[in-house]
Structure 1
Amino acid sequence: MASAETERGAPFSLDSYYVSEELGFVLPDPLENLPPYYQPWMEIALRVPELVHSHDLRSHVNKMPLLSTDFLQSHRELRLAHLVLGMVTMGYVWQEGENDTVEMLPRNLAVPYWEVSLRLGLPSILTHADAALANWRKKDPEGPFDMDNLEVLVRLPGGDSVKGFFLVTLLVELAGVSAIRSIPAVINGVRCSDSEAVTKALENIGQSIQDMNDALKLMHVYVDPSVFYGVMRIFLSGWKDNPCMPKGLVYEGVQTEPVKFSGGSAAQSSLLHCFDELLGVKHEEKSRAFLTRMRNYMPPAHRKLIEDISLQPSLRGFVQQQANQGLSKAFDDCVSKLLALRSYHINVVSRFITVPAAKARQLRKNSHESEGEMVSRAPASLEERGTGGSGIMTFLKTVRDKTKDVLLHEASK
């Protein structure tokens, strides 16, 4: 067995991908504050919801000093700076909703944000890696990872629903940690034809995906659909494929031409990309193009892990060759759990986007804003699209159907 591994080089491991044993892709122990020099950023970032509400955020940002990014040293400092500047940027761009967007991000925000982004290898817009993976603290450091013991560091408008949305997303990521830890065992087991090791690792991954699905159900408990749709959603939107900002956004002092970035999307989670590459899910061209583009919104080391998993020998091919009933069952169970997660995600999106969008259209048609006032204020341009810019339901259903294609047994399909 050792010789087979030696032949193909060292065993596959997660060591060089900035993946934590305990937390997976989640940033361990995010900093809660930046060095004192950066207090002008922190002061505005911590007040984004109230400053947007009073329509004062833009004026505060315009008066902000232009700070050097040279004093940001550690990875965690850079991640907090990226989160803070991202939240301020989203508030600045969308302060007045879809009707009064800006064409330019002022230099004192744009230049440091661009520099921090370059150092991290991330785009200059709020990403899943910021808002979900690096935006948390435990109230009791020794206590559990649960909704009662977690708090966000910075938030967008939307009150408790914003906190709920980011923290439930964090819990979904944490539920996937066991799956990520099991991926090397699958790859190394395939390399040296160890069916038993692969079966056991696939069973772990299947259980972990089931746990992610259970965590996702908490969205219905902690997030109000009308607040998500009517208040929060625009602040997660980007300036690519968005009719409100067809040209994109100029980052003053960085470049003269507008830049287009997509808003936040579940497609920016490295977890699902890893599962697809491991299980051999082949998405159709349009979906694949969108998903591949979303990898540019992940930390580079996580993107590299996904690419490296894609270069490994085919797991599905190995399972078919082995003709081992236990192994085949473990593989199909794993795919079925991923399928169930994707189906449930469609259910969540329907409740939080499709249903409120229909209601908003109806209210606008009848032009009364009483009972659904919050919903009717939502941006009309996002009715059919995800904040990442995809035609949301078509995209999610296509992705789910392509997942079904990798099942081995017709009965499972």
Structure 2
Amino acid sequence: SPWMDIAHELPQLITSHQLRSRVHQMPQLSPQQLRGREELHLAHLVLSFITMGYVWQDGEEGTVQVLPRNLAVPFWEVSQALGLPPILSHADFVLANWRRKDPDGPLEMENLDTIITLPGGDSLRGFILVTVLVEKAAVPGIKAIPRALGATVQGDEESLHRALEELAGAIEAMREALRRMHDYVDPEVFYSVVRIFLSGSYHITIVTKYIAVAASKAKARRAELNGAGPAVGKAPSALEDKGTGGSHIFSFLKSIRDTTREGMIRA
């Protein structure tokens, strides 16, 4: 409960710069009380979001290098139990961070909500949930890959053709899901909140809109405010041309695009 109470107040605690003081008052809890992988994954989700907020509460210039023991120890223990790194990962940010509003309803945008969020409002929520739908669209394609490999080994052209058609359909469904990003996410709001977990051909368009263009606008705002103190909502400069893993955004994405094109089967 102490972890969940803080996690559900994260946007307000971060924007009011009160998160660190709340964390310092948090009891040190033992993850040994957690039951099963579902509760462990929820704990990892919650502790990773609290950790990210704790480190970045005061922006790029006010980051901290050391976590308090009552946060670091349980986060490390939960991570060890799951075999995950003690960081906010895609597994937390997206894969474990959604729920159905109506438990019996469909896995569609209108029936989805996030479990934990950060400052960024509906734009951040939209980014997470659109990414969930991209992951959902990928499932038939992932299932088709081993069938295609098996058909290749067995020389079964009909099964191979069918599996490749399913894979192509999944890729197109992923593209269609990703296009919904334009409907739900404000680039300027999103840019100031979190790095994008993207790669691939159509993703270059998304990255241009949500990173490159937003970065140039942020630079312009900083120039206007130069000498007037720190800009409110200033976007971290490290995000202006870097991807999630520190690689240069467009060099990385174009290399993925080109490698994919080289491997395409021409009809």
TM-score per shorter chain, which class?
over 0.9
Residue 251 of structure 2 corresponds to which residue in structure 1? 394
Tell me the C-alpha RMSD between the 2 structures. 1.8
Q: Is residue 2:158 matched to residue 1:196?
A: yes
User: Would the aligned equivalents of 1:82 and 1:113 in 2 still touch at CA under 8 Å?
Assistant: yes
User: Would the aligned equivalents of 2:140 and 2:166 in 1 still touch at CA under 8 Å?
Assistant: yes
User: Would the aligned equivalents of 1:227 and 1:374 in 2 still touch at CA under 8 Å?
Assistant: no
Residue 265 of structure 1 corresponds to which residue in structure 2? 197
Aligned residues: 264
Residue 181 of structure 1 corresponds to which residue in structure 2? 143
Q: CA deviation at 1:368?
A: 6.6
Q: Is residue 2:62 matched to residue 1:100?
A: yes
Residue 225 of structure 2 corresponds to which residue in structure 1? 367
- Cα distance between partner residues in 1 of 2:107 and 2:31: 32
DSSP 3-state at the match of 1:66 = coil
Q: Structure 1: which 5+ residue stretches go unaligned? A: 1-38, 237-263, 268-341
Residue 404 of structure 1 corresponds to which residue in structure 2? 261
Q: 2:237 aligns with which of 380, 397, 405?
A: 380
Q: Is residue 2:6 matched to residue 1:44?
A: yes
- Cα distance between partner residues in 2 of 1:99 and 1:368: 16
Q: How does 1:1-150 map to 2 (within 5 A)?
A: 39-150=1-112
- Cα distance between partner residues in 2 of 1:386 and 1:343: 15
Q: CA deviation at 1:72?
A: 1.4
Counterparts in 2 of 1:374 and 1:350: CA distance versus 1, 3 Å: farther
Residue 225 of structure 1 corresponds to which residue in structure 2? 187
Q: Is residue 2:204 matched to residue 1:355?
A: no
Q: 2:173 aligns with which of 196, 206, 211?
A: 211
Q: CA deviation at 1:381?
A: 2.2
- Cα distance between partner residues in 2 of 1:193 and 1:180: 20
- Cα distance between partner residues in 2 of 1:183 and 1:343: 20
DSSP 3-state at the match of 2:95 = coil
TM-score w.r.t. the length of structure 2 is: 0.94
Counterparts in 2 of 1:108 and 1:101: CA distance versus 1, 3 Å: same
User: Would the aligned equivalents of 1:168 and 1:219 in 2 still touch at CA under 8 Å?
Assistant: yes
Structure with the greater alpha carbon radius of gyration: 1
Please state which structure has a larger fraction of its residues in helix: 2
Q: Structure 2: which 5+ residue stretches go unaligned? A: none
Cα deviations across residues 7-45 of structure 1 (Å, max 9, x unaligned)? xxxxxxxxxxxxxxxxxxxxxxxxxxxxxxxx1111101
Q: CA deviation at 1:408?
A: 4.2
DSSP 3-state at the match of 1:137 = strand
